[in-house]
Amino acid sequence: MGEVRSNGHAGAGTPAAAAPQALDRGARSARNAVKDATFLRLAHTNASPTAPCRTWPPPSHSASRADEPVTVGNRLPRLVTLRRAREGRFVDPVAAKRAVLDAGEQLGFVDPRVARVEALDRAAFLDDWLAEGRAGDMRFLLHHKKARLDPRTRYPWARSVVSAFFPYAAPPAPVRRWKEELRGRIAAYALGPDYHDVMTARLARWRDAVQELFPGAEAKGFVDTGAVFEHEWAARAGVGWTGKHTLTLSETRGSYAFLGEIFLEADLEPDAPVSDRCGTCTRCLDVCPTDALAPGYRLDPRRCISYLTIEHRGVVAPDLRPKIGEWVFGCDLCQTTCPWNDGASSPATEWLAPRLEGLLALDDAGFDRLYGASAIRRAGRIGLARNAAIVLGNTGNPDAVPPLSRALRDHDAPLVRRHAAAALGVLRGATPRAGTALEAGRSDPDDDVRSEVESVLDS
Ligand code: B12
Ligand code: SF4
Ligand code: SF4
Protein backbone atom coordinates (compact mmCIF):
# COMPACT_ATOMS: atom_id res chain seq x y z
CA MET A 1 0.00 0.00 0.00
CA GLY A 2 1.13 3.54 -0.19
CA GLU A 3 2.56 5.57 -2.95
CA VAL A 4 5.79 3.86 -3.63
CA ARG A 5 5.33 0.36 -2.41
CA SER A 6 2.42 -1.92 -2.77
CA ASN A 7 0.70 -2.58 0.54
CA GLY A 8 0.68 -6.29 0.35
CA HIS A 9 -3.02 -6.80 0.76
CA ALA A 10 -3.67 -8.85 -2.20
CA GLY A 11 -4.44 -11.83 -4.28
CA ALA A 12 -7.74 -11.53 -6.03
CA GLY A 13 -8.89 -15.08 -6.20
CA THR A 14 -11.50 -14.38 -8.80
CA PRO A 15 -11.99 -16.90 -11.55
CA ALA A 16 -11.38 -14.21 -14.12
CA ALA A 17 -8.12 -13.31 -12.46
CA ALA A 18 -6.86 -16.71 -13.48
CA ALA A 19 -8.08 -16.43 -17.05
CA PRO A 20 -6.28 -13.70 -18.94
CA GLN A 21 -7.90 -14.67 -22.23
CA ALA A 22 -11.33 -14.24 -20.74
CA LEU A 23 -10.13 -10.94 -19.45
CA ASP A 24 -9.15 -9.77 -22.93
CA ARG A 25 -12.45 -10.88 -24.34
CA GLY A 26 -14.20 -9.09 -21.50
CA ALA A 27 -12.27 -5.93 -22.18
CA ARG A 28 -13.10 -6.06 -25.88
CA SER A 29 -16.77 -6.59 -25.28
CA ALA A 30 -16.69 -3.84 -22.66
CA ARG A 31 -15.29 -1.48 -25.23
CA ASN A 32 -17.89 -2.45 -27.77
CA ALA A 33 -20.66 -2.06 -25.25
CA VAL A 34 -19.34 1.36 -24.41
CA LYS A 35 -19.34 2.34 -28.05
CA ASP A 36 -22.83 1.01 -28.58
CA ALA A 37 -24.21 2.73 -25.56
CA THR A 38 -22.38 5.95 -26.04
CA PHE A 39 -22.59 7.39 -29.44
CA LEU A 40 -26.28 7.75 -29.51
CA ARG A 41 -27.09 10.19 -32.23
CA LEU A 42 -29.77 12.31 -30.66
CA ALA A 43 -31.95 14.69 -32.63
CA HIS A 44 -31.29 18.23 -31.59
CA THR A 45 -33.08 20.20 -34.21
CA ASN A 46 -35.54 21.58 -31.68
CA ALA A 47 -32.81 22.54 -29.28
CA SER A 48 -32.97 25.91 -27.65
CA PRO A 49 -30.41 27.43 -25.32
CA THR A 50 -30.72 26.58 -21.66
CA ALA A 51 -28.62 27.36 -18.64
CA PRO A 52 -25.35 25.50 -19.16
CA CYS A 53 -25.73 21.85 -18.26
CA ARG A 54 -22.78 19.73 -17.28
CA THR A 55 -20.85 19.38 -20.44
CA TRP A 56 -17.96 17.63 -21.93
CA PRO A 57 -15.53 18.97 -22.91
CA PRO A 58 -15.32 21.65 -20.24
CA PRO A 59 -14.80 25.22 -21.47
CA SER A 60 -11.03 25.11 -21.02
CA HIS A 61 -10.88 22.35 -23.61
CA SER A 62 -12.89 24.31 -26.14
CA ALA A 63 -10.33 25.88 -28.39
CA SER A 64 -12.68 27.21 -31.04
CA ARG A 65 -16.32 28.02 -31.42
CA ALA A 66 -16.86 24.77 -33.26
CA ASP A 67 -15.52 22.95 -30.22
CA GLU A 68 -17.83 24.62 -27.76
CA PRO A 69 -20.24 22.43 -25.89
CA VAL A 70 -23.68 22.46 -27.36
CA THR A 71 -26.53 23.18 -25.05
CA VAL A 72 -29.84 21.62 -25.77
CA GLY A 73 -33.48 22.25 -25.28
CA ASN A 74 -35.56 22.09 -22.16
CA ARG A 75 -37.18 18.89 -23.25
CA LEU A 76 -33.81 17.17 -22.94
CA PRO A 77 -32.19 19.25 -20.22
CA ARG A 78 -29.63 16.64 -19.21
CA LEU A 79 -27.99 16.15 -22.57
CA VAL A 80 -24.28 16.72 -22.69
CA THR A 81 -21.97 16.73 -25.64
CA LEU A 82 -19.38 14.04 -25.82
CA ARG A 83 -18.05 14.91 -29.21
CA ARG A 84 -17.57 18.20 -30.84
CA ALA A 85 -20.70 19.75 -32.25
CA ARG A 86 -19.56 19.46 -35.82
CA GLU A 87 -19.40 15.71 -35.45
CA GLY A 88 -23.04 15.74 -34.45
CA ARG A 89 -22.56 13.14 -31.75
CA PHE A 90 -24.42 13.65 -28.51
CA VAL A 91 -25.20 11.51 -25.58
CA ASP A 92 -27.58 11.51 -22.71
CA PRO A 93 -25.52 11.87 -19.50
CA VAL A 94 -27.57 9.13 -17.94
CA ALA A 95 -26.59 6.83 -20.80
CA ALA A 96 -22.98 8.01 -20.56
CA LYS A 97 -22.84 7.25 -16.87
CA ARG A 98 -24.48 3.87 -17.42
CA ALA A 99 -21.91 3.11 -20.10
CA VAL A 100 -19.07 4.01 -17.72
CA LEU A 101 -20.48 1.76 -15.02
CA ASP A 102 -21.24 -1.06 -17.49
CA ALA A 103 -17.67 -0.96 -18.76
CA GLY A 104 -16.42 -1.48 -15.20
CA GLU A 105 -18.89 -4.25 -14.52
CA GLN A 106 -17.81 -6.13 -17.60
CA LEU A 107 -14.28 -6.07 -16.28
CA GLY A 108 -15.29 -7.67 -12.99
CA PHE A 109 -15.94 -4.58 -10.87
CA VAL A 110 -19.21 -4.72 -9.01
CA ASP A 111 -21.61 -2.08 -7.76
CA PRO A 112 -19.69 0.78 -9.37
CA ARG A 113 -21.04 4.12 -8.27
CA VAL A 114 -20.15 7.76 -8.57
CA ALA A 115 -19.19 10.51 -6.14
CA ARG A 116 -18.34 14.11 -6.80
CA VAL A 117 -14.70 14.92 -6.06
CA GLU A 118 -14.45 17.48 -3.33
CA ALA A 119 -12.41 18.16 -0.21
CA LEU A 120 -12.85 15.59 2.57
CA ASP A 121 -13.48 16.78 6.09
CA ARG A 122 -11.16 14.28 7.76
CA ALA A 123 -8.18 16.57 8.43
CA ALA A 124 -8.66 16.56 12.21
CA PHE A 125 -9.19 12.80 12.25
CA LEU A 126 -6.08 12.20 10.20
CA ASP A 127 -3.97 14.62 12.25
CA ASP A 128 -4.93 12.89 15.49
CA TRP A 129 -4.48 9.45 13.95
CA LEU A 130 -0.98 10.26 12.76
CA ALA A 131 -0.03 12.16 15.93
CA GLU A 132 -0.89 9.07 17.94
CA GLY A 133 1.71 7.19 15.88
CA ARG A 134 -0.84 4.82 14.35
CA ALA A 135 0.98 4.71 11.03
CA GLY A 136 3.71 2.62 12.65
CA ASP A 137 6.08 1.37 9.96
CA MET A 138 3.69 2.52 7.22
CA ARG A 139 5.54 5.72 6.60
CA PHE A 140 3.76 6.31 3.31
CA LEU A 141 0.71 7.34 5.37
CA LEU A 142 2.69 10.30 6.70
CA HIS A 143 3.04 11.80 3.26
CA HIS A 144 0.74 13.50 0.76
CA LYS A 145 -1.79 14.50 3.36
CA LYS A 146 -3.16 17.26 1.16
CA ALA A 147 -3.77 14.89 -1.73
CA ARG A 148 -5.48 12.40 0.58
CA LEU A 149 -7.83 15.06 1.84
CA ASP A 150 -8.41 16.64 -1.55
CA PRO A 151 -7.27 14.73 -4.66
CA ARG A 152 -7.63 17.94 -6.69
CA THR A 153 -4.44 19.27 -5.09
CA ARG A 154 -2.65 16.68 -7.18
CA TYR A 155 -5.19 16.12 -9.95
CA PRO A 156 -6.80 19.52 -10.43
CA TRP A 157 -8.85 18.15 -13.29
CA ALA A 158 -10.68 15.56 -11.17
CA ARG A 159 -14.45 16.13 -11.07
CA SER A 160 -15.98 12.70 -10.46
CA VAL A 161 -14.79 9.46 -8.98
CA VAL A 162 -16.21 6.08 -9.89
CA SER A 163 -15.67 3.66 -7.03
CA ALA A 164 -16.35 -0.06 -7.11
CA PHE A 165 -15.90 -3.34 -5.33
CA PHE A 166 -13.78 -6.12 -6.78
CA PRO A 167 -14.86 -9.23 -4.86
CA TYR A 168 -12.68 -12.04 -3.68
CA ALA A 169 -13.67 -15.44 -2.31
CA ALA A 170 -14.74 -15.59 1.33
CA PRO A 171 -12.26 -17.24 3.69
CA PRO A 172 -12.52 -21.00 4.08
CA ALA A 173 -13.37 -22.40 7.48
CA PRO A 174 -10.25 -22.49 9.65
CA VAL A 175 -8.32 -25.73 9.95
CA ARG A 176 -9.54 -27.00 13.30
CA ARG A 177 -6.43 -29.08 13.98
CA TRP A 178 -3.92 -26.36 13.05
CA LYS A 179 -1.96 -26.93 16.24
CA GLU A 180 -1.60 -30.66 15.64
CA GLU A 181 -0.87 -30.21 11.94
CA LEU A 182 1.44 -27.23 12.51
CA ARG A 183 -0.38 -25.06 10.01
CA GLY A 184 -0.66 -21.32 9.77
CA ARG A 185 -3.46 -19.26 8.29
CA ILE A 186 -3.44 -16.69 5.50
CA ALA A 187 -6.10 -14.04 4.96
CA ALA A 188 -8.53 -14.86 2.17
CA TYR A 189 -7.68 -11.88 0.04
CA ALA A 190 -4.21 -13.27 -0.59
CA LEU A 191 -5.49 -16.26 -2.56
CA GLY A 192 -4.32 -16.30 -6.16
CA PRO A 193 -2.41 -13.64 -8.05
CA ASP A 194 -1.69 -10.29 -6.45
CA TYR A 195 -4.81 -8.18 -6.68
CA HIS A 196 -2.76 -5.09 -7.40
CA ASP A 197 -1.62 -6.67 -10.66
CA VAL A 198 -5.05 -8.02 -11.57
CA MET A 199 -6.92 -4.85 -10.74
CA THR A 200 -4.36 -2.43 -12.14
CA ALA A 201 -4.62 -4.13 -15.54
CA ARG A 202 -8.41 -3.97 -15.42
CA LEU A 203 -8.49 -0.42 -14.19
CA ALA A 204 -6.33 0.52 -17.18
CA ARG A 205 -8.85 -1.10 -19.51
CA TRP A 206 -11.70 0.56 -17.71
CA ARG A 207 -9.94 3.92 -17.93
CA ASP A 208 -9.43 3.40 -21.67
CA ALA A 209 -13.11 2.65 -22.09
CA VAL A 210 -14.02 5.76 -20.11
CA GLN A 211 -11.69 7.85 -22.23
CA GLU A 212 -13.42 6.61 -25.34
CA LEU A 213 -16.57 8.06 -23.87
CA PHE A 214 -14.94 11.32 -22.95
CA PRO A 215 -12.21 11.87 -25.54
CA GLY A 216 -9.34 13.93 -24.23
CA ALA A 217 -10.57 13.73 -20.66
CA GLU A 218 -8.09 12.94 -17.94
CA ALA A 219 -8.80 9.75 -16.03
CA LYS A 220 -6.74 7.84 -13.51
CA GLY A 221 -7.34 4.53 -11.79
CA PHE A 222 -6.27 3.59 -8.27
CA VAL A 223 -6.15 0.47 -6.23
CA ASP A 224 -4.70 0.54 -2.77
CA THR A 225 -1.38 2.21 -3.41
CA GLY A 226 -2.32 5.83 -4.10
CA ALA A 227 -2.65 8.65 -1.59
CA VAL A 228 -6.39 8.10 -1.73
CA PHE A 229 -8.81 7.45 1.11
CA GLU A 230 -10.55 4.65 -0.71
CA HIS A 231 -13.15 3.99 2.00
CA GLU A 232 -14.18 7.57 1.95
CA TRP A 233 -14.90 7.67 -1.78
CA ALA A 234 -16.63 4.31 -1.69
CA ALA A 235 -18.88 5.53 1.11
CA ARG A 236 -19.62 8.81 -0.61
CA ALA A 237 -20.50 7.01 -3.82
CA GLY A 238 -22.69 4.55 -1.93
CA VAL A 239 -20.73 1.41 -2.82
CA GLY A 240 -21.16 0.55 0.84
CA TRP A 241 -20.73 2.09 4.25
CA THR A 242 -17.71 2.21 6.53
CA GLY A 243 -18.22 -0.47 9.16
CA LYS A 244 -17.00 -0.31 12.72
CA HIS A 245 -14.08 -2.45 11.60
CA THR A 246 -13.14 0.48 9.29
CA LEU A 247 -13.73 -1.55 6.12
CA THR A 248 -16.32 -0.85 3.43
CA LEU A 249 -19.22 -3.29 3.36
CA SER A 250 -22.62 -3.48 1.77
CA GLU A 251 -25.83 -5.36 2.36
CA THR A 252 -25.45 -7.37 -0.82
CA ARG A 253 -21.68 -7.93 -0.94
CA GLY A 254 -20.56 -7.88 2.65
CA SER A 255 -16.91 -6.85 2.84
CA TYR A 256 -14.97 -9.54 0.99
CA ALA A 257 -14.05 -7.19 -1.80
CA PHE A 258 -11.24 -4.85 -2.71
CA LEU A 259 -11.88 -1.27 -3.63
CA GLY A 260 -10.77 0.38 -6.85
CA GLU A 261 -11.64 3.74 -8.31
CA ILE A 262 -11.25 5.94 -11.34
CA PHE A 263 -10.94 9.69 -10.98
CA LEU A 264 -12.33 11.42 -14.00
CA GLU A 265 -12.31 14.85 -15.55
CA ALA A 266 -16.00 14.87 -16.34
CA ASP A 267 -19.08 15.41 -14.27
CA LEU A 268 -21.08 12.26 -13.81
CA GLU A 269 -24.27 12.38 -11.82
CA PRO A 270 -23.28 11.40 -8.25
CA ASP A 271 -25.02 8.54 -6.49
CA ALA A 272 -26.34 8.75 -2.96
CA PRO A 273 -24.49 7.21 -0.01
CA VAL A 274 -26.14 4.20 1.62
CA SER A 275 -27.04 4.18 5.29
CA ASP A 276 -24.82 2.67 7.90
CA ARG A 277 -26.33 -0.69 8.80
CA CYS A 278 -24.01 -1.59 11.69
CA GLY A 279 -26.63 -0.48 14.16
CA THR A 280 -25.88 -1.63 17.69
CA CYS A 281 -23.70 -4.53 16.53
CA THR A 282 -20.18 -4.59 17.97
CA ARG A 283 -19.14 -8.08 16.88
CA CYS A 284 -16.01 -6.96 15.05
CA LEU A 285 -14.82 -4.94 18.03
CA ASP A 286 -15.54 -7.83 20.37
CA VAL A 287 -13.82 -10.53 18.29
CA CYS A 288 -10.56 -8.70 17.65
CA PRO A 289 -7.95 -10.66 19.61
CA THR A 290 -5.59 -7.72 20.00
CA ASP A 291 -8.13 -4.97 20.78
CA ALA A 292 -6.99 -3.11 17.70
CA LEU A 293 -10.48 -1.71 17.07
CA ALA A 294 -12.07 1.04 19.08
CA PRO A 295 -15.39 2.83 18.68
CA GLY A 296 -15.35 5.80 16.32
CA TYR A 297 -13.91 4.04 13.24
CA ARG A 298 -10.53 3.88 14.87
CA LEU A 299 -8.17 1.06 14.20
CA ASP A 300 -4.76 0.98 15.79
CA PRO A 301 -2.69 -0.76 13.12
CA ARG A 302 0.14 -1.29 15.58
CA ARG A 303 -2.09 -3.83 17.30
CA CYS A 304 -3.75 -5.22 14.18
CA ILE A 305 -2.61 -8.70 13.16
CA SER A 306 -2.81 -7.67 9.54
CA TYR A 307 -0.27 -4.93 10.16
CA LEU A 308 1.91 -7.02 12.45
CA THR A 309 2.18 -9.90 10.00
CA ILE A 310 2.42 -7.91 6.76
CA GLU A 311 3.70 -4.38 7.28
CA HIS A 312 5.68 -4.50 10.51
CA ARG A 313 9.33 -5.22 9.87
CA GLY A 314 10.75 -5.68 13.35
CA VAL A 315 10.19 -7.59 16.54
CA VAL A 316 6.59 -8.35 17.47
CA ALA A 317 5.92 -7.32 21.07
CA PRO A 318 5.80 -10.34 23.42
CA ASP A 319 2.27 -9.56 24.67
CA LEU A 320 0.91 -9.59 21.11
CA ARG A 321 2.54 -12.86 19.98
CA PRO A 322 0.04 -15.26 21.59
CA LYS A 323 -2.86 -13.11 20.32
CA ILE A 324 -1.73 -13.61 16.75
CA GLY A 325 -2.94 -17.20 17.07
CA GLU A 326 -2.47 -19.05 13.78
CA TRP A 327 -2.24 -16.02 11.44
CA VAL A 328 0.95 -15.88 9.38
CA PHE A 329 -0.32 -13.32 6.87
CA GLY A 330 -3.19 -10.91 7.44
CA CYS A 331 -6.32 -11.55 9.48
CA ASP A 332 -9.99 -12.03 8.60
CA LEU A 333 -11.57 -12.22 12.03
CA CYS A 334 -13.39 -8.89 12.08
CA GLN A 335 -14.91 -9.83 8.72
CA THR A 336 -15.79 -13.47 9.38
CA THR A 337 -17.77 -12.40 12.42
CA CYS A 338 -19.73 -9.74 10.56
CA PRO A 339 -23.40 -10.63 10.02
CA TRP A 340 -23.34 -8.97 6.60
CA ASN A 341 -20.84 -11.56 5.43
CA ASP A 342 -23.52 -14.10 6.00
CA GLY A 343 -21.28 -16.88 7.28
CA ALA A 344 -20.15 -17.55 3.71
CA SER A 345 -16.99 -19.58 3.37
CA SER A 346 -15.17 -21.10 0.40
CA PRO A 347 -13.62 -24.54 0.12
CA ALA A 348 -10.42 -25.01 2.09
CA THR A 349 -7.22 -24.51 0.20
CA GLU A 350 -3.74 -25.60 1.14
CA TRP A 351 -2.55 -22.16 0.06
CA LEU A 352 -4.42 -20.44 2.88
CA ALA A 353 -3.32 -23.00 5.49
CA PRO A 354 0.40 -23.54 4.81
CA ARG A 355 2.68 -25.79 6.79
CA LEU A 356 4.69 -23.66 9.18
CA GLU A 357 7.87 -25.67 8.89
CA GLY A 358 8.02 -24.92 5.16
CA LEU A 359 7.52 -21.18 5.69
CA LEU A 360 10.28 -21.07 8.27
CA ALA A 361 12.76 -22.79 5.98
CA LEU A 362 12.14 -20.82 2.75
CA ASP A 363 15.18 -19.41 1.00
CA ASP A 364 15.02 -16.47 -1.41
CA ALA A 365 14.48 -18.63 -4.47
CA GLY A 366 11.78 -20.68 -2.78
CA PHE A 367 10.03 -17.57 -1.53
CA ASP A 368 10.07 -16.00 -4.99
CA ARG A 369 8.82 -19.18 -6.59
CA LEU A 370 5.93 -19.54 -4.16
CA TYR A 371 4.98 -15.96 -3.47
CA GLY A 372 6.66 -13.81 -6.11
CA ALA A 373 3.38 -13.17 -7.94
CA SER A 374 1.24 -13.05 -4.82
CA ALA A 375 0.32 -10.34 -2.35
CA ILE A 376 2.18 -12.41 0.21
CA ARG A 377 5.50 -11.16 -1.10
CA ARG A 378 4.71 -7.93 0.74
CA ALA A 379 5.53 -9.61 4.05
CA GLY A 380 8.94 -10.64 2.70
CA ARG A 381 10.68 -13.94 3.27
CA ILE A 382 12.03 -12.88 6.65
CA GLY A 383 8.74 -11.42 7.82
CA LEU A 384 6.91 -14.59 6.88
CA ALA A 385 9.48 -16.76 8.64
CA ARG A 386 9.22 -14.55 11.76
CA ASN A 387 5.44 -15.01 11.67
CA ALA A 388 5.81 -18.78 11.25
CA ALA A 389 8.09 -18.90 14.29
CA ILE A 390 5.52 -17.02 16.39
CA VAL A 391 2.71 -19.33 15.27
CA LEU A 392 4.81 -22.45 15.91
CA GLY A 393 5.19 -21.18 19.48
CA ASN A 394 1.44 -20.62 19.66
CA THR A 395 0.73 -24.24 18.73
CA GLY A 396 2.10 -25.39 22.11
CA ASN A 397 2.94 -28.58 20.22
CA PRO A 398 6.27 -30.32 21.03
CA ASP A 399 6.51 -31.25 17.33
CA ALA A 400 7.26 -27.59 16.71
CA VAL A 401 10.60 -27.87 18.52
CA PRO A 402 12.70 -29.43 15.69
CA PRO A 403 11.88 -26.79 13.05
CA LEU A 404 12.34 -24.00 15.59
CA SER A 405 15.68 -25.48 16.73
CA ARG A 406 16.87 -25.60 13.13
CA ALA A 407 15.80 -21.99 12.62
CA LEU A 408 17.60 -20.87 15.77
CA ARG A 409 20.73 -22.62 14.61
CA ASP A 410 20.70 -21.96 10.88
CA HIS A 411 18.40 -19.11 9.81
CA ASP A 412 20.27 -16.26 8.14
CA ALA A 413 18.09 -13.52 9.70
CA PRO A 414 18.69 -12.56 13.34
CA LEU A 415 15.04 -11.45 13.56
CA VAL A 416 13.91 -14.97 12.78
CA ARG A 417 16.43 -16.60 15.13
CA ARG A 418 15.25 -14.28 17.88
CA HIS A 419 11.61 -15.21 17.36
CA ALA A 420 12.54 -18.89 17.13
CA ALA A 421 14.22 -18.54 20.53
CA ALA A 422 11.15 -16.84 21.98
CA ALA A 423 8.88 -19.56 20.57
CA LEU A 424 11.10 -22.28 22.03
CA GLY A 425 10.73 -20.45 25.31
CA VAL A 426 6.95 -20.77 25.02
CA LEU A 427 7.31 -24.49 24.29
CA ARG A 428 9.55 -25.16 27.28
CA GLY A 429 6.45 -25.89 29.32
CA ALA A 430 5.43 -28.59 26.82
CA THR A 431 8.77 -30.34 26.46
CA PRO A 432 12.24 -30.07 28.00
CA ARG A 433 13.65 -30.52 24.49
CA ALA A 434 12.82 -26.88 23.86
CA GLY A 435 15.17 -25.81 26.67
CA THR A 436 17.96 -27.99 25.31
CA ALA A 437 17.55 -26.47 21.87
CA LEU A 438 17.72 -22.99 23.35
CA GLU A 439 21.14 -23.66 24.86
CA ALA A 440 22.61 -23.67 21.35
CA GLY A 441 21.52 -20.05 20.98
CA ARG A 442 23.81 -18.85 23.76
CA SER A 443 26.65 -18.64 21.24
CA ASP A 444 24.64 -16.83 18.54
CA PRO A 445 26.74 -14.14 16.80
CA ASP A 446 23.95 -11.55 17.15
CA ASP A 447 23.64 -9.61 20.44
CA ASP A 448 19.84 -9.37 20.29
CA VAL A 449 19.42 -13.08 19.65
CA ARG A 450 21.78 -13.96 22.51
CA SER A 451 19.99 -11.68 24.93
CA GLU A 452 16.60 -13.13 23.87
CA VAL A 453 17.97 -16.65 24.48
CA GLU A 454 19.41 -15.67 27.83
CA SER A 455 16.30 -13.92 29.01
CA VAL A 456 14.18 -16.91 28.00
CA LEU A 457 16.52 -19.36 29.75
CA ASP A 458 16.73 -17.19 32.84
CA SER A 459 12.98 -16.71 33.14
C1 B12 B 1 -2.99 1.27 5.51
C2 B12 B 1 -3.99 0.19 5.17
C3 B12 B 1 -4.11 -0.88 6.06
C4 B12 B 1 -3.48 -0.85 7.44
C5 B12 B 1 -4.30 0.13 8.32
C6 B12 B 1 -5.81 -0.05 8.12
C7 B12 B 1 -6.63 1.15 8.53
N8 B12 B 1 -7.88 0.92 8.86
O9 B12 B 1 -6.15 2.27 8.55
C10 B12 B 1 -3.54 -2.34 7.86
C11 B12 B 1 -2.22 -3.01 7.50
C12 B12 B 1 -3.82 -2.61 9.33
C13 B12 B 1 -4.63 -2.85 6.94
C14 B12 B 1 -5.32 -4.01 7.18
C15 B12 B 1 -6.32 -4.51 6.36
N16 B12 B 1 -6.64 -4.04 5.13
CO17 B12 B 1 -5.96 -2.43 4.42
N18 B12 B 1 -5.50 -0.72 3.60
C19 B12 B 1 -4.76 0.24 3.99
C20 B12 B 1 -4.80 1.38 2.96
C21 B12 B 1 -3.57 1.28 2.09
C22 B12 B 1 -4.87 2.78 3.53
C23 B12 B 1 -5.91 2.96 4.65
C24 B12 B 1 -5.69 4.28 5.31
O25 B12 B 1 -5.55 5.29 4.66
N26 B12 B 1 -5.62 4.28 6.64
C27 B12 B 1 -5.41 5.49 7.38
C28 B12 B 1 -6.65 5.80 8.20
C29 B12 B 1 -6.56 7.20 8.79
O30 B12 B 1 -7.69 5.78 7.29
P31 B12 B 1 -8.98 4.88 7.48
O32 B12 B 1 -8.88 3.85 8.50
O33 B12 B 1 -9.38 4.50 6.12
O34 B12 B 1 -9.88 6.00 8.15
C35 B12 B 1 -10.92 6.56 7.48
C36 B12 B 1 -12.22 6.34 8.24
O37 B12 B 1 -11.98 5.81 9.51
C38 B12 B 1 -12.81 7.69 8.22
N39 B12 B 1 -13.52 8.17 9.35
C40 B12 B 1 -13.10 9.01 10.28
N41 B12 B 1 -14.12 9.40 11.04
C42 B12 B 1 -15.21 8.82 10.53
C43 B12 B 1 -16.53 8.92 10.90
C44 B12 B 1 -17.47 8.20 10.16
C45 B12 B 1 -18.89 8.33 10.54
C46 B12 B 1 -17.07 7.36 9.08
C47 B12 B 1 -18.06 6.57 8.30
C48 B12 B 1 -15.73 7.28 8.72
C49 B12 B 1 -14.83 8.02 9.47
O50 B12 B 1 -11.81 8.64 8.00
C51 B12 B 1 -10.68 8.07 7.50
C52 B12 B 1 -10.48 8.64 6.13
O53 B12 B 1 -11.53 8.34 5.32
C54 B12 B 1 -6.12 1.02 2.20
C55 B12 B 1 -6.11 1.44 0.73
C56 B12 B 1 -6.38 2.92 0.59
N57 B12 B 1 -5.55 3.59 -0.15
O58 B12 B 1 -7.33 3.43 1.17
C59 B12 B 1 -6.17 -0.50 2.34
C60 B12 B 1 -7.54 -1.15 2.46
C61 B12 B 1 -8.34 -0.36 3.44
N62 B12 B 1 -7.25 -2.43 3.07
C63 B12 B 1 -7.99 -3.41 2.67
C64 B12 B 1 -8.01 -4.71 3.22
C65 B12 B 1 -8.68 -5.80 2.41
C66 B12 B 1 -7.43 -4.96 4.47
C67 B12 B 1 -7.58 -6.22 5.33
C68 B12 B 1 -8.98 -6.80 5.33
C69 B12 B 1 -6.54 -7.28 4.86
C70 B12 B 1 -6.51 -8.53 5.72
N71 B12 B 1 -7.47 -9.45 5.56
O72 B12 B 1 -5.62 -8.72 6.50
C73 B12 B 1 -7.15 -5.69 6.72
C74 B12 B 1 -8.36 -5.24 7.54
C75 B12 B 1 -8.02 -4.58 8.84
C76 B12 B 1 -9.09 -3.58 9.23
N77 B12 B 1 -9.99 -3.94 10.12
O78 B12 B 1 -9.09 -2.47 8.68
C79 B12 B 1 -8.95 -2.95 1.59
C80 B12 B 1 -10.35 -2.83 2.21
C81 B12 B 1 -11.47 -3.23 1.26
C82 B12 B 1 -12.80 -2.98 1.91
N83 B12 B 1 -13.80 -3.77 1.57
O84 B12 B 1 -12.96 -2.08 2.69
C85 B12 B 1 -8.31 -1.56 1.16
C86 B12 B 1 -9.33 -0.49 0.78
C87 B12 B 1 -7.38 -1.87 -0.02
C88 B12 B 1 -8.17 -2.07 -1.30
N89 B12 B 1 -7.95 -1.25 -2.31
O90 B12 B 1 -9.01 -2.94 -1.42
N91 B12 B 1 -4.82 -2.01 5.89
S1 SF4 C 1 -7.88 -7.68 11.01
FE2 SF4 C 1 -7.84 -8.97 12.89
S3 SF4 C 1 -6.46 -7.90 14.30
FE4 SF4 C 1 -7.00 -6.43 12.67
S5 SF4 C 1 -8.76 -5.34 13.46
FE6 SF4 C 1 -9.60 -7.07 12.32
S7 SF4 C 1 -9.84 -8.70 13.87
FE8 SF4 C 1 -8.50 -7.15 14.75
S1 SF4 D 1 -19.45 -6.85 12.68
FE2 SF4 D 1 -21.21 -5.54 13.17
S3 SF4 D 1 -20.31 -3.57 13.77
FE4 SF4 D 1 -18.73 -4.72 12.70
S5 SF4 D 1 -18.87 -4.03 10.57
FE6 SF4 D 1 -20.15 -5.89 10.75
S7 SF4 D 1 -22.21 -5.09 11.21
FE8 SF4 D 1 -20.76 -3.41 11.59
Q: Whose CA is nearest to atom 16 of ligand 1?
A: 9
Give residue-wise pLDDT tens across range 411-444: 999 999 999 999 999 999 999 999 999 998 999 9
CB 265 within 8 A of CB 219: yes
Q: Whose CA is nearest to atom 81 of ligand 1?
A: 258
Mean pLDDT of the region 354-368: 98
pLDDT the model gives residue 91: 62
Q: Whose CA is nearest to atom 8 of ligand 3?
A: 278
Is a pLDDT exceeding 90 seen at residue 343? no
Nearest ligand to residue 142 Cα: 1
| SS3 at position 133 | coil
CB 422 within 8 A of CB 393: yes
Mean pLDDT of the region 143-148: 96
310 lines ligand 2 (CB under 6 A): no
pLDDT the model gives residue 34: 33
Q: How remote is the CA of residue 295 from the centroid of ligand 1, in Å?
A: 15
Contacts of residues 123-132 at CB distance under 8 Å and 24 or more positions apart, as own/partner, are 123/149, 129/298, 132/300
Q: How remote is the CA of residue 199 from the centroid of ligand 3, in Å?
A: 26
pLDDT the model gives residue 101: 97
Architecture of domain 283-458: Alpha Horseshoe (1.25)
Domain positions in the chain: 283-458
Is a pLDDT exceeding 60 seen at residue 232? yes
Q: How confident is the model at residue 47 (pLDDT cuts 50, 70, 90)?
A: very low
Give residue-wise pLDDT tens across range 89-139: 446 788 899 999 999 999 999 999 999 999 999 999 999 999 999 999 999
pLDDT the model gives residue 289: 98
Mean pLDDT of the region 224-236: 97
User: 92, 102, 194, 224: which one is catalytic?
Assistant: 224
CA-to-CA separations, 17 to 74, 81, 194, 252, in angstroms, rounded: 46, 36, 9, 22
Return the percentage of the chain with pLDDT > 70, whole number: 80
224 is catalytic: yes
CB 142 within 8 A of CB 135: yes
Give residue-wise pLDDT tens across range 50-92: 222 234 555 444 333 333 332 222 322 233 334 433 343 446 7
299 lines ligand 2 (CB under 6 A): yes
